[in-house]
Amino acid sequence: MYIKWFVLLAVVARDCSSQDEDGPYRGKYIGKLNSYHHQVSGDVYAIDEWTLILVNFNYDGTGDDTFFWAGDAGRPGPQGFIVPDEHGKTNILERYYNQDVRLTLPEGKRISRIKWLAIYDIGSQNAFGDVYVPDEFEAPAPRTIGPLVGERAVSSETVQVADASTIIIPEFKYDGSGEEVYFWTGVGPQPSSRGIKIPDDYGYLEPLRAYKGEDVRLTLPGGRTVFDIKWISVYDVGTQRSLAAVLVPDALNVPPAPLALHPYRTNLPHCKQLHRDYQVSWEKFGNQITIELAAKIDANEYMGFGISGSDSKSQMLGADVAIAHYDPKMQRGLATDYNITAIAPCVQVLGQWRGVCRDDLLGGLDSNQVFSGEVQDGLTRISYRRVLKPFEELDREWLVDKPAYIVWSIGSLDHAGEPAFHRLHHVRDVALNLDQNPPVNDCFNFTVGSSTAPTPWEVAELFDPSLRVFTFRLGPAGGARGVAGRGKGGAPALAWYVNGQLAPDLQLRRGLKYSFKVYGGNNPHSATEYHPLIVTASAHGGLERLSDAEQRAVRVLAGVHYPRRGRIAPTAAGPLCIGRHPAGADRRRDDDYATFRAFNRTLQWDCANAAPAELLVAPNSSWPDIVYYNSFTHSGMGGRIFVVDRHRRNIAKRPASSTTYTAPLAISILATLAAMAAVALRR
């Protein structure tokens, strides 16, 4: 009797936590492999209805005809089916030594309907090890936990826990009026100020915007799971009031999150989490400050961080920033000093450099001394030192006696290694107390494994043989789905809109004459909105910032005039016609639009009432098969022109195209790897 009770209790305890007490959460426990031969051992968990994980799996690999083998009834025997190995293959099993092996059942099979899984030798009809799926076994699955309940200003449909770290709030509504309202979570019987922020659906830690009935997907920060929290709230930190909340039941039978903790921890005492994927840490020492930037960025991306251009708010204009990244060729980190005089790439405006320009280009010095830099598991880390009170005018002073406003951003480097338009950046003001005692540290651990790049919008093709007139206007380049999603590296803020399409491919026939009507803006004093159109044999454009010699090395097929000496001059700018985000729109949300057509509908057009400049384009036999239209001032705003002798329909679909988008594949591989590896924190 006594023993029976003990066993029962043990089973119940195991059932509640769905796992052994001290590992990461792996899903619902099925059992330990019974070991008969060939040193088979390990623990088996269900991740969901179709997926199993064998933890610390061992097998000596010496069976002749051995497979993962499962059956719907009875005991392990010839009646069964092969379960493909962790690579999805049905090869004879090799040796495993303390491995975590993730298996997916064949199509049509479910864990709750199978009776057993074995390591089984088909030739000798011999089970080397097996585990039985308990009767009435319920596999982990997304669970609903009820709607957000509270004030009328906040509402949602039933909240879903998709996996141990992912919460989905369907039809979320909130008017965005609170100054300090966040997604918030913690322990204790009800929401309280002793909680932590959950980054919003874009990974931002800033006060919530207005939501008008959107499905919001949140990931708990730092590898936390639903087992670590008791409630999720929309919480006003200023007034310490929960606007609405939902309680999280214990022991939810949900799939583990496909996340693993990143080992990075800063050694510096102060740390500020700027975004889910970006943190800055620092230490002041006399008149110097050591700064360490760490972010989950792609190989061709930079981290921008620096002192605001204003003493009373976070402002890019006038800011003094470091543009930090890891250079794989030089195998070292860089943190280059930049001066921001316009929100534009660095260009010469009437002989003066304006935009995001290197201090050394402006005749200043690079004041940052880089200590170290590395990239590890998708996380880039750069540390550098600078003086607080600058020696030169270009640099702004870092205040320590009061909060210092800072600016931050993440974006791509363009083909020339210069910062292109940012994809992430501060929206609200961020002020840091650089010398606070005790130090501030609100950083959480980075995780690896879950990020999904949105699918880029299709590139339009203007291939109709009867088209002889093309109209070039300006508009936003459109976030990760837009020009940046075409895999060419950094995208600028603006792009060409040709006949209403975002930087489409064109097709022109040699021997014909075409008219390009250009509305690129003809104010050469503007660092941001002066875009003469050019056609070049090289992909990038942006000739303005090149040296005279570099400029003359670019083959320009249309759009410039070559004076006998000095710099080449553009010829076709035209009045400005530009599509802009409507007032108050958040350009970080460009990715929300599934198609360019839908995005385009939101733009507001601002067009001068004047005739366009006309650029006559006459491709001839000396033109290469692919040329590019671009801006004379900024790089990366344009698209391809296929130059043909006879019109062709499928010309853009050739495999050699450089526009293939590979990120989602890489990310899904990463996610799979991370899911196979140890899963995050559960303690």
Residues that bind ligand NAG (CB under 6 A): 222, 261, 309, 318, 339, 341, 362, 394, 444-445, 500-501, 557-558, 596-597, 600, 620, 622, 681
Q: Which is nearer to ligand NAG, 311 or 548 (CB)?
A: 311
Q: What angle do CA 146, 176, 598 make, to 5 degrees?
A: 90
Q: Which residue from 19, 43, 20, 49 is spatially nearest to 31, judged by alpha carbons?
A: 43
Residue 433 DSSP label:
-
Please, what is the minimum distance in Å from the beta carbon of residue 681 to ligand NAG? 6
Please, what is the minimum distance in Å from the beta carbon of residue 174 to ligand NAG? 27
CB 501 within 8 A of CB 495: no
CB 387 within 8 A of CB 333: no
Q: Which is nearer to ligand NAG, 222 or 541 (CB)?
A: 222
Peptide bond into 570 cis (omega under 30): no
- Return the structure tokens found at 136: 């009435």
Going by C-beta distance under 8 Å and a sequence separation of 6 or more, which residues neighbour residue 335? Answer: 291, 293, 322, 323, 324, 368, 370, 373, 382, 384
Q: Which is nearer to ligand NAG, 127 or 680 (CB)?
A: 680
Residue 532 φ then ψ, to 5°: -65, 140
Please, what is the minimum distance in Å from the beta carbon of residue 501 to ligand NAG? 5
Q: What span, in angstroms and rounded, lies between the C-alpha atoms of 78 and 217?
A: 45
Q: Which is nearer to ligand NAG, 67 or 463 (CB)?
A: 463
Q: Which is nearer to ligand NAG, 261 or 671 (CB)?
A: 261
Please, what is the minimum distance in Å from the beta carbon of residue 264 to ligand NAG? 9
CB 441 within 8 A of CB 210: no
Please, what is the minimum distance in Å from the beta carbon of residue 47 to ligand NAG? 22
Please, what is the minimum distance in Å from the beta carbon of residue 363 to ligand NAG? 6
Q: What span, in angstroms and rounded, lies between the C-alpha atoms of 557 and 19?
A: 67
Q: Which is nearer to ligand NAG, 336 or 341 (CB)?
A: 341
Q: Which is nearer to ligand NAG, 155 or 339 (CB)?
A: 339
Please, what is the minimum distance in Å from the beta carbon of residue 500 to ligand NAG? 3
Q: What span, in angstroms and rounded, lies between the C-alpha atoms of 521 and 529?
A: 6
Q: Which residue from 146, 224, 216 is spatially nearest to 183, judged by alpha carbons?
A: 216
Q: What span, in angstroms and rounded, lies between the C-alpha atoms of 653 and 642?
A: 12
* Cα distances (Å, whole numbers) of residue 611 to 475, 523, 559, 577: 19, 15, 17, 11
Tokens 């550098």 — which residue? Answer: 384
Beta strands in 60-180 (DSSP E): 66-71, 81-82, 96-104, 116-121, 126-132, 143-146, 149-150, 154-155, 159-163, 166-174
* C-alpha torsion angle, residues 198, 203, 205, 211 (rounded to 10): -80
Concatenated DSSP letters of 638-651: -EEEEEESS--SSG
Please, what is the minimum distance in Å from the beta carbon of residue 94 to ligand NAG? 33
Q: Which is nearer to ligand NAG, 341 or 630 (CB)?
A: 341
- Chain position whose Cβ is nearest to ligand NAG: 500
H-helix or E-strand spanning residue 28: strand 28-32
Q: Which is nearer to ligand NAG, 96 or 593 (CB)?
A: 593
Q: Which is nearer to ligand NAG, 158 or 471 (CB)?
A: 471
Please, what is the minimum distance in Å from the beta carbon of residue 617 to ligand NAG? 8
Q: Which is nearer to ligand NAG, 178 or 476 (CB)?
A: 476
CB 558 within 8 A of CB 537: no
Please, what is the minimum distance in Å from the beta carbon of residue 372 to ligand NAG? 21
Please, what is the minimum distance in Å from the beta carbon of residue 485 to ligand NAG? 16
Q: Which residue from 125, 39, 139, 136 is spatially nearest to 75, judged by alpha carbons?
A: 125
Please, what is the minimum distance in Å from the beta carbon of residue 333 to ligand NAG? 23
Q: Which is nearer to ligand NAG, 140 or 478 (CB)?
A: 478
Please, what is the minimum distance in Å from the beta carbon of residue 465 to ligand NAG? 20
Q: Which is nearer to ligand NAG, 16 or 678 (CB)?
A: 678
